[in-house]
Chain A
């Protein structure tokens, strides 16, 4: 399970606040992904990045932003524009976008105060 880490494990957000979730990998993977998981639902893609300094919107990008300044890091910011941010957030990576096997981080649970 090592190789891709997320922090913090739990995060609390106050109304109107932006919060940033960390994702780091030491697998030398080019592609990284952010998913949101809600109870009873599958994983929904928020953003993905094929390579450093490049990222694309997924299916539910509104209210979120990302950066990919380093190969190892793909932080996700949940902005105040995201009105329903309470969820379990999973980061994943794969060798390349064309490579199927994804490796997931342990997740961050975001709660709204």
Chain B
């Protein structure tokens, strides 16, 4: 089955700096890669996703890049703010089973004011 590895497990940045979280996956059939944000004590929420037919996607301060050849994808957050502090999860899934995702172990991002 699919195996997703996520790095780093913790990340601390100064407000205004950029943050990058990286994930690798093992199943070349995976073609959908969402990122979820989970604030303390709350439910995970989708913040951005990318499909295998594109290499990059942006949404304001958040961007995701995908390298299918190398089987890795990354989340980029620019101009970080304290409210960006949360646990971020990457995931990967395939086609007809797209809802059945394999998740990374999460990255705890702390943005220091």
Q: Give chain A's interface residues, CB within 8 Å of chain B.
A: 1, 31, 33, 40-45, 48, 58-59, 90, 94, 96-102, 104-107
What separation, in Å, do the CA atoms of A43 and B9 have in the docked complex?
14
Instruction: Return the 5 tightest CB-CB contacts between A and B, nearest first.
Output: A42-B103, A104-B43, A94-B99, A100-B98, A43-B103
Of B1, B99, B105, the residue contacting A102 (CB under 8 A) is B99
Closest A residue, CB atoms, query B98: A100
**Once bound together, how far apart are the Cα atoms of A100 and B102, in whole Å?**
12
- Point out the residue from A40, A98, A102, A107 that lies within 8 Å of B101, measured CB to CB: A102
Distance to closest chain B CB from A108 (angstroms): 11
Q: How far is the CA of A1 from the CA of B46 in the complex (A)?
A: 11
A98 is contacted by which of B34, B46, B98 (Cβ under 8 Å)?
B98
The docked-state distance in angstroms from the alpha carbon of A48 to that of B49 is 21
Contact across chains for B95 and A98 when beta carbons are under 8 A apart:
yes
Contact with A along B34-45 (1 / 0, CB 8 A): 100000001111
A96-B99, A97-B96 known; A42-B89 Cβ under 8 A: yes
Taking each of A43, A59, A98, A106, which has the highest tally of chain B beta carbons within 10 Å of its own beta carbon? Answer: A43
Interface residues of B, CB < 8 Å — how many?
26
Say how far B89's CB is from chain A's closest CB, in angstroms.
6
Determine which residue in A1, A33, A97, A105 has the highest number of CB atoms from chain B within 10 A of its CB, and name it: A97
Query: When chains A and B are docked, how far (Å) is the Cα of A49 from the Cα of B89?
Result: 22
List which B74-113 residues lie within 8 A (CB) of chain A. Answer: 89, 93, 95-106
Distance in angstroms between the alpha carbons of A42 and B44 in the assembled complex? 11
A1: chain B residues at CB < 8 Å are 43, 45
Chain A residues with CB below 8 A from B4, complex form: 42
A1 to B43, CA, bound (A): 9
22 intermolecular pairs with C-beta atoms under 8 Å apart: A40-B105, A40-B106, A42-B4, A42-B104, A42-B105, A45-B102, A48-B99, A48-B100, A96-B99, A97-B96, A97-B100, A98-B96, A98-B97, A98-B98, A100-B32, A100-B49, A100-B93, A100-B101, A102-B34, A102-B99, A104-B45, A105-B43
A59 to B103, CA, bound (A): 12
